[in-house]
Amino acid sequence: MNNAPVPAPPAENSGGPFTLSAMLEMTALSCPSNTALLFEGKKINFQTLSKWVGQASAAFAGKGVQKGDCVILQLRNSPEFIVAYFALARLGARAVPVNFLVKKSEELAYIFNHCGAAGALTQNEFLSGVLGARKLSPGLRHVWSADGRDAHDGVQNFWDFIQGFSPGDAPAVEISPEDVATILYTSGTTGQPKGVMLTHQNLVSNVRASVSCLNLSRRDVFLCILPMFHTFAWTACVLTPIYLGAPILVVASITPAAVWLKQMLRHGATLFPAMPQIFAVLSKEAKGFKRLFLKYLCFRKVRFAISGSAPLAVHTLEEFEAKLGVPIQEGYGLTETSPAVSINPAVKRKIGSVGTSMPGVSVKIFDEDDKELAAGAEGEICVKGPNVMKGYYKDEEATRAAFNKSGWFKTGDIGIIDEEGYIFIRDRKKDMIIVKGLKVFPAQLEAVLSGHPDIDEAAVIGVPDSTGSEKIKAFVVLKKGSQMDKAQILHFCKQKLDPYKRPRDVEIVPHLPKNALQKVLKRKLREQEMERAKSIES
């Protein structure tokens, strides 16, 4: 298969960044008949996608949505998500994707009210939460359902809503690359979630950087199993193929895996963006005939996989590559950086590293006094570049706190950069444990624990003790059939870890709390320990 890069759209030679709506329009003009979306047995080309976007843009404008307005998108992966997002971008409005696991009306209402949402597009599956939030959100004027059959409670079917409009009905709106295209709400590990403002330029620059360093082509088929509300999925699995004119294999839900594995087999996916949990599960399942089915059928055309959203354990990478024969390029990024900061290059990959910075992106290590550190010195990873967010919506204080005195964005991750520019992440700054003045990084301990053949997953947190220091506690999920007990786990740690790094307590649990991208929610583990401590005191 010839995967030589296809020339980029004409705007690449225009000497400056451009907007998301212009990006789609140029792709639709340069390759109108190319397949844009593969969804549930249907093929949608770029001409049709662009037409739907124009119709939706006109329909939104007809309801009073204008430049600067916000519209909520709470949907599973679907054509409707993409159509609505680009329709809003064409108007200069702001798409606000929301995690579909957020179902409590009070939580949704906070986001609706904070961004001043004019409307919300959802699905019947999530409609009750949205309607409950509407009662608490006086500014929310419209609710649409992507799969609603009949209008009820003031909810209109999205396709009925845009029917009757033509792309020419949409008003011409002047949009600058510096205009905010989307507001993404963080998970709110401390207090209420913050709204990350990403501009057209932020997103387009990150797409261009990805294309230039990953040797991507419009002949590639991008699998999208990660949820589109997350910036990793949106940039890597949606914006990048639209920029190239390549097809997106859209999968509504990450479970059951059999659905998207069959789709991979049918359509010959060539790129596999995923998170560490998926690589771990596939490695575990790849035995006997199933391994042959995965390797030689489902993954037969996959050129490489991209890992993001969480640290990838070395043993997971090695096992996946050995069993399925597909190389993994691990990347690093954050919502605030659109998201990609770095990628491990295929030409010279360093296992355990998240690679070198993306084209146009600068990365440095700073200490707590905002002093730049030399190669190999450990400190906070800081980023500067066109991918860095405009700021947090309606939160100037948090925006100021997110940047150091030199104007570098502070990621909150602790790491080093070696002499060749490769970035190694130690842990999240807020997750770092201080044991009698010594720094302990949970990620290191979790990697050791997960390396035991009887342990499936592990999470490590610091628990404050009476001395003002912290003690280490590990939460462990055992593999099916394992009879390992707490004493054996502690003995294993004694063999593998320095004394100050060893957990003082281990709890064997059936599962770890996680979000939609399978990131462990350590906040919940800490809250659980605090409640336990309070109950003991009382």
Q: How many structural domains does the chain have?
A: 2
Of 25-29, 334-338, 433-437, 451-455, the poorest mean pLDDT is in 433-437
Higher pLDDT pick, 7 / 125: 125
% of the chain surpassing 90 pLDDT: 80
87 has a pLDDT exceeding 60:
yes
State which of 175, 191, 219 marks the end of a domain. Answer: 175
**Is 254 within the bounds of a domain?**
no
* Whether 269 contacts 97, CB under 8 Å: no
15 has a pLDDT exceeding 50:
no
In this structure, what CATH number is given to the domain that contains residue 497? Answer: 3.30.300.30
Entry pTM: 0.86
Taking phi over 0 as left and psi of -120 to 50 as alpha, with beta for the rest, 25 belongs to alpha
pLDDT band at 12 (very low <50, low <70, confident <90, very high): very low
CA 374/CA 328 separation, integer angstroms: 29
17 has a pLDDT exceeding 90:
no
**Is 49 within the bounds of a domain?**
yes
Q: What average pLDDT score do residues 499-524 get?
A: 89
CA 339/CA 332 separation, integer angstroms: 8
Buried b / exposed e along 224-248 (16+ C-beta atoms within 10 A): bbbbbbbbbbbbbbbbbbbbbbbbb
Element (H, E) at 96: strand 94-97
State residue 383's pLDDT score.
98
pLDDT band at 367 (very low <50, low <70, confident <90, very high): very high
Report residue 381 CA to chain centroid gap: 19
State which of 116, 146, 175 marks the end of a domain. Answer: 175
**Is 284 within the bounds of a domain?**
no
State residue 154's pLDDT score.
86
**Is 472 within the bounds of a domain?**
yes
Express each pLDDT in 143-202 by its tens digit. Answer: 999 997 655 678 999 999 999 999 999 999 999 999 999 999 986 544 688 999 999 999
What residues make up the domain containing 57? 30-175
In this structure, what CATH number is given to the domain that contains residue 133? Answer: 3.40.50.980
How crowded is residue 136: how many other Cβ atoms within 10 Å of its Cβ? 14
**Is 246 within the bounds of a domain?**
no
Express each pLDDT in 446-493 by its tens digit. Answer: 989 999 999 999 999 999 876 667 899 999 999 999 999 999 999 999
8 has a pLDDT exceeding 60:
no
**Is 60 within the bounds of a domain?**
yes
**Is 46 within the bounds of a domain?**
yes
β partners of residue 409: 383, 403
State residue 466's pLDDT score.
66
State which of 140, 175, 210 marks the end of a domain. Answer: 175
